[in-house]
Chains A and B, each alone.
Chain A
């Protein structure tokens, strides 16, 4: 019997314990060195720093790199070994003979400072004041095991080193063409909260990943490796979110997250990919922006509280007239938050800011009663938002001529799309293209090719005074009202104005648009104009409506016109909607009258 067990032991356990010899085609090795398959065979690493590769051919040769790595751990110098703790762990776990890992002071300090206890994927929602943040942002957090709270955790952010050029044209050009290098930086989580929640007023979503202790260790080790490298940064493809996918794949290769983003990487899509992996998410937590917190607190005020609040923040009358003691604390704390908001929004000078903050707090400090207001804890998860790409098919009538239309838009969100989990009041359309077939003429035409369409309608009220704006650039097929011929025009529209809420779901807006148009079809090849827009935007969840009228004054009679348009959508699900578009252009008695009904599908 004993011999039987012994035989069984040798038969089953010993070969198991020796494990497979690590091959350079091993998934774990490929993801750890960020190798991606090339279109015509072979591999190339995403990382561009030469120091990341131990073999001169390392960037494209996984086998040479593996041999060089094994050689390093057998006979190389300790300083270099200290740069690759994760490679060491991987080799060791595959029973490759790699000797003893040296004592690495810098890495040990890094590890101690992080005091790692877990990994969290962070998503911050869109920020309409910075072109590089329109799609939101993702970063990683190394949760801390320190006493206290996760404020003492660290964020690991992958970003482009842009040398403060974010607001220039150069930024757009270099950002799109890989002119910047990207890399990881580590910052305390409280700094990240300040940046996103408090300065930029963006919500943060925390997706807690379910990593084993070994995976956590491996993650920190790999972060150390990759933290010493740089990678060409491409705004749409190899961006902040994409590198996080490769980094998570390096920790758990079976995730195959980066495979899902061969072309474009939209932060929201990476969140959805991570959420879709079974057993990867442990919990989700929402950290609202300061502005969202203020709005939620104000919504809980009774009329007397709201009046006292406005008296304090607008007129510096801190008497809190008419309030019971247990109504005061909440008002004062909201006022304090609002003063912080005003300072960041540059509505307050430093001196006034300090005086008012101090006044609010000393008054609050004298009240013994606790707060009653609830904190904002629930949000609409971006993981449940509609998908980024959209295709639609529709049919309609264009001045009496029936037509069928197909369109495709790779990204991202229209005002009449379902806004659940998205930034409400913000429209970001990229590369929307439509083609039509007309019945009477029996021809196929490209109807429009829009490069970009951005609308930001944030209502002003007693407390917040955001600027609403509109940017459109693209090629459209237009009708010459004098001849009724059609042709292509490149249109650029930049406008600004204000919005105001009538109800929670309905807002009015007024914009002044600045038009520039160019095209061989246009008389004199070009025109410029000013457009005065009045519009209404309603969003009741399933039902969305955008209606606007615009009076255009232009340098060409071709473009001088009154334009009306209505866009309405009814959501059948988060990703599917029926839409109705109506357009009427009044000009010279040769009007344009068009109605279309379409089915929209996000995917």
Chain B
């Protein structure tokens, strides 16, 4: 009799705890979670702007810490939007770049104000450069993408 009480208690506890491990859905996008490198986006982004690589926008100091804009909105010019987009959609863009087409390429083409077929072809051709290794992060890819487009 006692054994059954005990067994049912243990079962109950196990079932309750197995549910607690669900993935946290409040994060700032899957891409940022999985692909973000250790290189510290803020420092890099600030370095980038002083190099003059981004041709349109300056970055806000607060930007880049979480992968989301602090007010939850898409804003800024081409550079900032591209980086914000890639920080949150890097895994999808990686797929689309490998194939040469897809929703993220159409979106980036809009942000970059270019033809999506051209961007698709360039992304596919330069995939190995854009994603140098498995640790490529959004900042790397953004910088390289701008090089690819300008080439």
Contact = CB atoms under 8 A, between A and B. Distances in A.
Given A110-B73, A194-B31, A365-B124, A357 B4 contact: no
A555 B7 CA distance: 11
B99 A496 contact: no
Contacts of A191: 28-29, 68, 88
Given A147-B110, A361-B127, A528 B4 contact: yes
B20 to A, nearest CB: 5
A469 B15 CA distance: 9
A534 interface: no
Interface in B91-107: 91, 94-95, 97-99, 103-104, 106-107
Interface stretch (A340-348, A564-572, A585-593): A340-348
Interface string B8-46: 100110111011111101111111001100000000000
Contacts of A496: 11, 14-15, 18
Contact of A148 (B28, B31, B91, B111): B111
Interface string A369-388: 01100000000000000000
A186 B28 CA distance: 13
A198 B34 CA distance: 12
Contacts of B4: 528-530, 553-555
Contact of B110 (A149, A346, A370): A149
Tier of interface size on chain A:
35 or more
Tier of interface size on chain B:
35 or more
Interface string A113-142: 110000000000000011000000000000
A4 B81 CA distance: 61
Nearest to A197: B30
Interface in A318-362: 329, 333, 336-337, 340, 343-346, 350, 353-355, 357-358, 361-362
Contacts of A172: none
Contacts of B99: 329, 333, 364-365, 370-371
B106 A530 contact: no
Given A190-B88, A361-B95, A365-B127, A114 B25 contact: no
A340 B89 CA distance: 12
Interface stretch (A56-64, A275-283, A478-486, A511-519): A511-519
A346 B18 contact: no
Contacts of B19: 129, 167
Interface string A5-42: 00000000000000000000000000000000000000
A199 interface: yes
A151 B89 contact: yes
A459 interface: no
Nearest to B76: A113
B67 to A, nearest CB: 9
B73 A188 contact: yes
B34 A154 contact: no
B18 A467 contact: yes
B107 A149 contact: yes
Given A113-B73, A148-B108, A188 B12 contact: no
Contacts of A469: 15
Contact of A529 (B8, B26, B88, B91): B8
Nearest to A339: B91
A203 B109 CA distance: 26
Nearest to A130: B22
Contact of B11 (A151, A195, A512): A512
Interface in A62-85: none
Contacts of A154: 72-74
B95 A350 contact: no
Interface string B60-91: 00000000100111110000010011001101
Contact of B98 (A109, A353, A361, A530): A361
A340 B133 contact: no
Contacts of B22: 129-130, 167
Nearest to B12: A514
A494 interface: yes
Contacts of B18: 467, 496
B5 interface: yes
Contacts of A361: 94-95, 97-98, 127, 131
A340 B124 contact: no
B51 interface: no
22 contacts: A112-B75, A114-B73, A148-B106, A148-B109, A149-B103, A167-B19, A167-B20, A186-B71, A187-B72, A188-B84, A190-B88, A190-B107, A194-B89, A333-B99, A354-B34, A355-B134, A358-B133, A467-B18, A496-B11, A496-B18, A530-B11, A555-B5
Closest 5 CB pairs of A and B: A148-B110, A147-B110, A358-B134, A354-B134, A113-B73
Interface of A: 109-110, 112-114, 129-130, 146-149, 151-152, 154, 164, 167, 185-188, 190-191, 194-195, 198-200, 329, 333, 336-337, 340, 343-346, 350, 353-355, 357-358, 361-362, 364-365, 370-371, 467, 469, 494-496, 512, 514-516, 528-530, 553-555
Interface of B: 1, 4-5, 7-8, 11-12, 14-16, 18-23, 25-31, 34-35, 68, 71-75, 81, 84-85, 88-89, 91, 94-95, 97-99, 103-104, 106-111, 113, 124, 127-128, 131, 133-135
